[in-house]
Amino acid sequence: MTPLKSLSIALLLLSVLGCQHTTQTQEIAIPSSATHNTYSPLINASQQSDLAYDIVKSLTVEVGPRIAGSKGDKRAVAWAEAKFAELGFDHIYKEPVRVRNWERGFADAKVIAPYPQNLVITALGGSIATPATGLTADVVMFESIEALRMANRNDIAGKIVFLNTRMQRDKAGRFYGKVVPNRVRGAVEAAKQGARAVIIRSVGTDNSRFAHTGVMRYDETVEKIPAGAISTADADTLEVMIKNAPTVTLQVNMQAKDAGWQTSYNVIGELTGTESPEEVVLISAHLDSWDEGTGALDDGAGVGIVMAAAKHIKDIIGQPKRTIRVVLFAAEEIGLIGAYEYVRANKDSLNKIIVAAESDFGAGPIYRMDTRFATSVRDNANDLYDVLSSLGVALGDNTTNGGPDVSMMPKYGVPVLALKQDGTYYFDYHHTPNDTLDKINIDEIRQNQTVWSVVTAYMANTEFDPRPAPSVE
């Protein structure tokens, strides 16, 4: 190792670790060090700040559950406007989003025979109710939705279908996409086969007695039947019963209801750019949550992370050159409703967005950044990638969709990036009563806040322009 190289590495470490800069540091013209020097005060300030965590605490304690269109959702919108003001955003506004409100109501399930006992169940979001006195039928189990589709209708008609697919833990959450069709499509596929109701093994990786809710869909051409999820522990019990006994009879009673149209809002806070205010760096999360927990991981964490990142940039570096726009989307959980409305309402200015990104995978540490940048300029941000590397974040591929609420933007040429979080335990809590503040590790959410601060500051304060996004296949 040459003396110069060892010095530059030592200085790089010093700047990352937050020591005072010496004049020597500025004399050495090494691009990565220069970028480190620019961002180290931001990194240091973030590493000593609880702001993201405090924002999630405020949202979960002062607002709590906030299913789209509910009273909680309305409180969340007012909370977000007030929080943006408190944090010093200079342009705060909201855009209306029409949403269908759904109320969970009472839910109960029990085995009637041969081994009577209660099961923990929750209704899936959007489900119709059972009759007021409940619904009693024999249950038929399938390992997958494909097996249900291929089964003989005579074995299913008049029964309750039980979709029993296990989900595995995974850092990137890859099994979610494989199992979630049970929840979204289960009622339609079961009804096509003549079933009276569907229950699924919760789409979750825990072994608790919390059931995981989440959105389900009907098809207007297929009869609507009630749909619920039982906890993974109860799914295990039911599976053994079905394997042991020729007939298992269940009673399910769920009194969910459609509560009609309501107006929710995408709530937006901006730090107006000083040099190119029309150019926008859009960072986002979703404000709604399911109703059972307090929506701490999904997506209070994202709300805290992106609000805090912008606030740190303003405090430590100052007003950005480009506009930083923090969007808190409405009604993500029931089908990205706020995000689609945002694109519709802002179609003419999407080409001003330099990059868009969303934080919506809990509060686990970020380990990778994927992008969808114009291929010809992607390497021009190598100095950013170097700083990220020092924060434990590797550069990934260039094919991301940026996260749920910005996933429709690349097809309009909007570049996106995704800061991939370790989601190994995310689906233990996802959409359950157990999604609460105590599940957030303060050091991990702080790492998220730091990485988002650096990436957002870089995109807002440098010349780097990754437009247009490569086209979507």
In the complex, minimum distance from the CB of residue 286 to Zn ion, in angstroms, rounded to a whole number: 6
In the complex, minimum distance from the CB of residue 323 to Zn ion, in angstroms, rounded to a whole number: 25
Nearer to Zn ion, 299 or 370 (CB): 299
> How far is the C-alpha of 375 from the C-alpha of 340, rounded, in Å?
26
> How far is the C-alpha of 461 from the C-alpha of 463, rounded, in Å?
7
**Cβ atoms 160, 282 nearer than 8 A:** no
Nearer to Zn ion, 298 or 428 (CB): 298
What share of residues in the chain are helix, strand, coil (percent, to 5)? 40, 25, 35
Nearer to Zn ion, 173 or 228 (CB): 173
Instruction: Identify which range of 130-138, 297-305, 430-438, 443-451 contacts Zn ion by CB under 5 A.
Output: 297-305
In the complex, minimum distance from the CB of residue 298 to Zn ion, in angstroms, rounded to a whole number: 4
Task: For residue 332, indicate whether it is catalytic.
Answer: yes
Residues 346-375, one symbol each (x = binds Zn ion by CB under 5 A, - = not), give --------------x---------------
The CA-atom distances, in angstroms, between 284 and each of 3, 132, 206, 326, 452 are: 44, 41, 28, 5, 11
The CA-atom distances, in angstroms, between 410 and each of 162, 302, 363 are: 38, 21, 25
Alpha helix stretches (DSSP H) within 49-200: 51-62, 71-86, 145-150, 174-192
Q: Which of 234, 288, 298, 428 binds Zn ion (CB under 5 A)?
A: 298
Instruction: Please choose, from the candidates 274, 272, 271, 270, the residue with its C-alpha nearest in 3D space to the C-alpha of residue 321.
Output: 274
**Residue written as token pair 């689906």:** 427
Instruction: Given the residues 332, 333, 358, 444, select the one marked as catalytic.
Output: 332
In the complex, minimum distance from the CB of residue 26 to Zn ion, in angstroms, rounded to a whole number: 43
Instruction: Please choose, from the candidates 140, 191, 129, the residue with its C-alpha nearest in 3D space to the C-alpha of residue 163.
Output: 140
Does 81 engage in binding with Zn ion (CB under 5 A)? no
Nearer to Zn ion, 404 or 410 (CB): 404
In the complex, minimum distance from the CB of residue 361 to Zn ion, in angstroms, rounded to a whole number: 8
Instruction: Identify which range of 56-64, 136-144, 294-302, 447-455 contacts Zn ion by CB under 5 A.
Output: 294-302
Does 299 engage in binding with Zn ion (CB under 5 A)? yes
Q: Give helix 301-312 / helix 71-86 axis angle, nearest 10°.
A: 20
Beta bridge partners of 230: 121, 201
Nearer to Zn ion, 189 or 298 (CB): 298
Does 383 engage in binding with Zn ion (CB under 5 A)? no
Nearer to Zn ion, 46 or 421 (CB): 421
Count residues near Zn ion (CB under 5 A): 3
In the complex, minimum distance from the CB of residue 278 to Zn ion, in angstroms, rounded to a whole number: 30
HSE-CB at 436 with a 13 A cutoff on CA atoms is 7
Residues that bind Zn ion (CB under 5 A): 298-299, 360
Provide the annotated active-site residues: 332
